[in-house]
Amino acid sequence: MNTLLNKEEIYKILSDIPDPEIPVINISELGILREVKLEDGVCMVVITPTYTGCPAMKVIEDDIKIKLKEVGIEKVKVALVYSPAWTTDWISDSAKEKLRVYGIAPPDHSSVDKKVLLGKPRELKCPLCGSKNTEMISQFGSTACKALYRCLECKEPFDYFKCL
């Protein structure tokens, strides 16, 4: 066990791990990486899934183990926690801007509001041309956390990171 590193330093190292499906932001910015603990020579990393069935969690767990092995930490435990439940509110403003530049419209509103039940998709800005003249194609997109939209100005389809 590499004892030269404290938990803050380990957290910083793990922060470099990109999200496997949205590689422009890292797991810390996305709010998946919750905590690093050092207990009896074991490095415990606490993560939380964005969506319950998110298949990226296994990849993230492997990435964490590989990253820590590179700095000489072999005894690693990755724990999944569900409480408090992940929310798009944990995505930082700078990460939201990175999403937009990458072509994904960032979540604009906190949590799921009851209006989603009434079936009115909210007005969204196209991440490419900035027009508000957009429409939803499908509320389920290429990954569990995204919906599919299109811009009626520049005609480009784009992903929207759903509020949760």
Partner 1 sequence: MNIQNAKFEYLLRLGDSSLIIGHRLSEWCGHGPILEEDIALINVALDFVGNATELLRYAGQVEGKERDEDDLAFLRDEREYRNLLITEQPNGDYASTIARQFLFDVYMYFLYEELKSSKDETLAAIATKTHKEVTYHLRHTTEWMYRLGDGTTESHVRLQNGVNDLWMFTSEMFDMDEFDEVLIKEGIAADLNKVKTEWEKKVKEVFAEATIQIPTTTFRQKGSREGKHSEHLGFLLAEMQYVHRTHPGAKW
The site for partner 1 (CB under 8 A) is made up of 49, 51-55, 81-86, 111-112, 116-117, 119, 137-142, 144, 148, 162, 164
Give the pair of three-digit tokens for residue 84.
């408090």
Q: Report the nearest approach of partner 1 to the CB of residue 8 (Å).
A: 27
Q: Report the nearest approach of partner 1 to the CB of residue 62 (Å).
A: 12
Q: Among residues 5 and 19, whose Cβ is nearest to partner 1?
A: 19
Under 8 Å between Cβ of 104 and 160:
yes
Q: Report the nearest approach of partner 1 to the CB of residue 49 (Å).
A: 8
The residue whose two tokens read 């415990």 is 44
CA 53 to chain centroid, in Å, comes to 14
The residue whose two tokens read 């590689």 is 23
Q: Among residues 131 and 142, whose Cβ is nearest to partner 1?
A: 142
Q: Report the nearest approach of partner 1 to the CB of residue 86 (Å).
A: 7
Q: Among residues 9 and 113, whose Cβ is nearest to partner 1?
A: 113
Query: What CA–CA distance (Å, rounded) separates 33 from 48?
Result: 7
Helix, strand, coil distribution of the chain in percent, nearest 5: 25, 25, 50
Q: Among residues 56 and 73, whose Cβ is nearest to partner 1?
A: 56
**Hey, CA dihedral for 68, 73, 75, 81, is it positive or negative?**
negative
